[in-house]
Amino acid sequence: MSSSELQIEHRPAAKPWSRSAEAVGPYSGVLAILLLLCVFFTITQPKFATTGNLLTILEANASLIVVSVGLTFVMIVGGFDLSIGGVSALAGVLLGKLVLAAGVADAIAIPLIIVGAAAFGALVNGGLIARVGLSFLVVTLGTMALTRGLALLVSGGSTQSLYDHEVIRWLGSGQVLGSIPVPALIAVAVLLVAIYVTRYTGYGRLVYAVGGNDEASRLAGVNVALIRMSTYSICAALAGLAGILDAGRLASASPDAAVGLELSAAAAVLLGGTALGGGVGTMLGTLLGALFLGVLSNGLIIASISVYWQGVVTGCVLILSLLADRLRRRRLATSGQ
């Protein structure tokens, strides 16, 4: 028996702390920044570390978490979706038209909007990108303008009040068990389902496979186009759900809603460790990225800092996330040589 074989046989088992460190590794950067940010605001802003404020953060960022989960699916397969904000705004406007002008019941209008958004994502975004072969940036930039324009046309450029529709308002601003926001519960439910799908189902494995190497997946018999279309469908459906949550939270449907949502979602997903090239990414990392943006925004508001700084900070975070992704890919390429 060789000395190398002896070394392998007598290799000590991994200690619990090392396994924990390995599990936390992909999120260590954003997790450390998030914790430091929470400590900073806790020390400087007495109102920050209260149960009410923490629940407010979850409620205010429920839509961001939901759309970020959808965008994570798309980015894992190596795509991107700029139409998230437009689809969200259009979903809210169409919901208002259905329940106000057409008299459709809330319980029927809500699933109709989500199904319609899913069909739009699959057939328009997914179809043009996966079937026709057009660039995802060009297609989703076009559908971003398309959905924004449709939202303005359908609404006539005006905001529709949904205050009298209790089901919609409950979804957007209701509470259960005394103080737990309904939107936060919906966001957590979406996140848990996404974690289960990506980690424990065959579909999730196919999503990662297509993102990692679409040609190898095609040769293995995977319907790459269908997988890509399905991720755009999921992304659009969750954008539609986010539009409904926002409409309920504001008790109104506005064509100007969700402006910049796609950029915030991109920052959250990239900050959470999802690679632009595809094949790498986790839902837990996306959650941490969204919470970072939410905590930062909330802390700035409590500190009475101008809301305009939030856009500046989000832009900086997005640029730094892209830089980190580039450095991570360069490091992986170097280590693989």
pLDDT digits (tens, 9 = 90+) for 264-277: 999 899 888 888 88
**Looking at the domain assignment, is residue 322 inside a domain?**
no
How far is Cα 36 from Cα 288, in angstroms, rounded to an integer? 13
**Looking at the domain assignment, is residue 195 inside a domain?**
yes
Domain extent for 211: 49-257
Predicted pLDDT at 5: 39
Averaged pLDDT for residues 64-68 = 97
Could you tell me which residue, 216 or 336, shows the higher pLDDT? Answer: 216
Two tokens at 133?
Answer: 């072969």
pLDDT tier, 106 (very low <50, low <70, confident <90, very high otherwise):
very high
**Looking at the domain assignment, is residue 63 inside a domain?**
yes
Predicted pLDDT at 81: 97
The label of the residue with tokens 């978490």 reads 65
pLDDT tier, 10 (very low <50, low <70, confident <90, very high otherwise):
very low
**Looking at the domain assignment, is residue 276 inside a domain?**
no
**Looking at the domain assignment, is residue 86 inside a domain?**
yes
How far is Cα 313 from Cα 296, in angstroms, rounded to an integer? 9
Averaged pLDDT for residues 76-81 = 96
State if pTM tops 0.85: yes
Check: CB of residue 231 under 8 Å from CB of residue 34.
Answer: no
H-assigned helices in the chain: 3-9, 16-24, 28-44, 51-60, 62-76, 84-100, 106-120, 136-155, 166-173, 182-200, 202-212, 214-219, 224-250, 261-271, 283-302, 308-336
How far is Cα 225 from Cα 79, in angstroms, rounded to an integer? 12
255 three-state secondary structure: coil
Residue 35 region by backbone torsions, left for phi larger than 0, else alpha for psi between -120 and 50, else beta: alpha
Could you tell me which residue, 301 or 129, shows the higher pLDDT? Answer: 129
Could you tell me which residue, 313 or 163, shows the higher pLDDT? Answer: 163
Averaged pLDDT for residues 139-153 = 96
pLDDT tier, 202 (very low <50, low <70, confident <90, very high otherwise):
very high
Number of structural domains (the chain) is 1
Instruction: Say if residue 329's pLDDT is above 80.
Output: no
Amino acid at the residue 148? R
Instruction: Say if residue 1's pLDDT is above 50.
Output: no
Nearest-10 Cα torsion for 262, 308, 53, 265: 10
pLDDT tier, 332 (very low <50, low <70, confident <90, very high otherwise):
low
Percent of the chain with pLDDT over 90: 67
220 three-state secondary structure: coil
210 three-state secondary structure: helix
Predicted pLDDT at 3: 42
Predicted pLDDT at 33: 83
Residue among 243, 271, 238 nearest 257 (CA):
243
**Looking at the domain assignment, is residue 9 inside a domain?**
no
**Looking at the domain assignment, is residue 106 inside a domain?**
yes
**Looking at the domain assignment, is residue 204 inside a domain?**
yes
Two tokens at 54?
Answer: 């923490």
Two tokens at 72?
Answer: 């994570």
